[in-house]
Amino acid sequence: MTYNQIITRLLQVMDSHLLINETGYGNLSDIHTPEDEKAPSYPYAFLNPVNVVVGAFSFDIQLNLIIMDQLIDGEGSQAEEIKVQSNCLMYLQDIISHFRQLSQGTDRHIDIDVDVTATPFKERFEDNVAGIGAQITITAIAPLEGCDAAFPS
């Protein structure tokens, strides 16, 4: 399984979540804000690549998964902030669980680490948002094999 296939599958899982209205991928500067031409439709989930660690028999993809929703009550009350963060944490759990179930059902060569540290946040972009940021790790079994490499024999 390739990096492209794994990211595509993860984005498909995020897109299929019934409570997430928009997804994105890229650098943090690529996150949509209301000053962009296209303001995000919240709740909004965004994948930010961190790194890929290549080993002899596998590679690990580390990504920041940021899930946020807009605070409706202006600056947002504390109760609303906590409710939004709680909802975003549930969305994170849903994504991890669904990705893992799909992978174990269709391709046992990839897995997602289920022990994730998530950080609740509240930010004031052009709109007030709160949510959860987590660094997730996906492992793909992909041995380094010279036989499959694109070199002349």
Residue-wise pLDDT for 49-98, tens only, equals 999 999 989 999 999 999 999 988 655 688 999 999 999 999 999 999 99
CATH number assigned to the domain comprising residue 65: 3.30.70
Domain extent, residue 117, equals 3-144
Structural domain includes residue 35: yes
Residue 138 within a domain: yes
Q: Is residue 78 part of a domain?
A: yes
Query: Considering the domain boundaries, does residue 150 fall inside one?
Result: no
Burial class (CB in 10 A: 0-12, 13-18, 19+), 82: middle
- Please provide the distance, in angstroms rounded to a whole number, between the alpha carbons at the two ends of the chain: 24
Count of domains observed in the chain: 1
Instruction: For 64-73, write each residue's pLDDT tens digit.
Output: 999 999 988 6
Q: What is the pLDDT of residue 144?
A: 75
Per the prediction, the chain carries an average pLDDT of 88
Tell me the pLDDT band of 133, cut-offs 50, 70 and 90: very high
How large a percentage of the chain has pLDDT more than 70? Answer: 86
Domain presence at residue 42: yes
Q: Is residue 152 part of a domain?
A: no
